[in-house]
Amino acid sequence: MRAISPARVSRDTRASRDAEAVSIIVGRERGDPVMVSIPPGPHSSRPPTPSFPDDNLSQPLLHLDSAGTAEAILDGKIQFALNFSWAVNLLLFGAKGYVWWLSASKAVLASLIDSLVDLASQGVVAMTEIQSKRADARFPVGKARLETIGVLGCACLMSVAAYAVVQDSSVSMYEGIVKGILPQLDTSLVTYCVLGGATLLKLIAYLICTALQSRSDSMLALAEDHLNDVVSNICAIGTAAIASEVPRAWWVDPTGGILISLFILSRWFGIAKSQIDKIVGRGAPRELVDQLMRFASQHHEKLEVDCLRAYHFGSRFMVEAEVVMPADSGLQEVHDISLQLQTKLEALDLVERAFVHVDYARRDQPEHRTERLLQGLPVVAEEPLLPSPHQPPRSGSGRRMSSESSCEDVASPLPVQSQTTRQPKQNAPATKTGEGEARQ
């Protein structure tokens, strides 16, 4: 364990206080992948201040959580929202089942099936929430993206259920128009009271989950469930009342069931698309990247940010920062400064994982294999940047080694014996018997 000097602790404390003053604005999927670059310049110059969004954006502010207190509070709020949603969904499912048994309304049936799938989808959300927080040696960087996959599973369940209701309502429409078989509805005051009370509870649950949906994909899925139930309950009450009071308007009830199902399909299609973007790795909004750039630029006076990438790694972001430090900096100083920056980036609420790459000069070409391939550049340069017997080939883009090199190759130490040292010949006779046996 390394001893830390008081001067360094004081400097780190001041840097931490400065970093806590920087807030990161939450951004939903509003922009394309962005990479903000700083133009080349000497090491002594500071990078220009990036542009910032308007202060009146209606987005919550997130701060550093170095002690993990905010994370614990957030987990408690999410657990309360999950438990409350369970209670409301179970109560609502029983109430809708009773109302459907009394009225035989297609719109109420659509809302009942929606509640049934709500329970199934919430089970998926709860399972993925628990599994994503469990440590597993098979998943060395965690299972944070499992939550996003769980939301996709909910979208599939909702889509299948909505399609089934559309099919059943279409059959009722066909029988009523072609065969003259009209559906029989029997609504009463109990029906309206039960559905009205259930709708009010769903609205409360929706407001609770909406307040947390920007921090958790599970809350986003539950908020969408509750919103769908609020809309479907209101439509079910209205269409059932019209169809029961006006016999000629019997078609309003199955039509309401179809419209409710189409609304649910459209909403979940948008959610499924956003979750797929998160799994694929959609870039962060520009305002988030700009603030991350300033956050990193203020970390240390000897550090300049060359470029910074932020993209989705599940519900939160992966951040890659390429920074420049003076060429005469010591290894210990470079390591400590870059590690502190990485730790501060990962302490941000929106950041899942961060990587900091340090260089002594700015590069005008991408350094990673995927970006080079997309731009039609060779993966490995033919000529090394610096001729040295011990340095791996380095291209003009700054790649240290071939993309085929494994982690074992990177971790292997350099040989102690230099190339100028001559190896003893294999056929040289041993001067002594003991010495020869020892050499063998």
Q: What's the confidence (pLDDT) of residue 343?
A: 94
Q: Is residue 424 part of a domain?
A: no
pLDDT at 224: 81
Q: pLDDT grade, residue 186 (50/70/90)? A: low
130: CB partners within 8 A, 6+ apart:
none
Whole domain around residue 79: which residue ranges? 69-278
The answer to the question of residue 368 being in a domain is yes
Domain co-membership, 89 together with 163: yes
Domain with 242 in it: what CATH number?
1.20.1510.10
pLDDT (tens digit, 9 = 90+) per residue, 366-393? 878 888 888 888 877 555 555 444 444 3
pLDDT per residue as tens digits for the range 23-53: 333 333 334 444 433 334 333 333 333 333 3
142-184: per-residue pLDDT in tens?
787 887 888 888 888 888 888 888 888 898 888 888 888 877 7
Residues 295 and 377 in one domain: yes
**97 domain residue, yes or no:** yes
Q: Please give the pLDDT value at position 247.
A: 78
Instruction: Read off the pLDDT band of 9 (50, 70, 90).
Output: very low
Q: Which amino acid is at 400?
A: R
Res 211 pLDDT > 90? no
CA distance 301 to 298: 7
* Type of residue found at 182: L
Q: What is the mean pLDDT of residues 239-244?
A: 81
In a domain, 43, yes or no: yes
Query: CA 147 to CA 408: how far, in whole Å?
Result: 32
Residues 272 and 301 reside in one and the same domain: no
Q: Is 420 within the bounds of a domain?
A: no
pLDDT in the model for residue 326: 94
Specify the pLDDT at position 401: 34
**Global pTM value:** 0.58
User: Are 103 and 207 in the same domain?
Assistant: yes
Q: Is 439 exposed, middle or buried (0-12, 13-18, 19+ CB in 10 A)?
A: exposed
* Paired sense of beta strands 316-324 and 304-313, if any: antiparallel
Q: Please state the domain count of the chain.
A: 2
Task: List the structure tokens of 281.
Answer: 């790795």
pLDDT at 59 over 70: no
**CA 28, CA 387: separation in Å to the nearest integer?**
47
- Non-local (6+) Cβ contacts of 375 within 8 A are 366
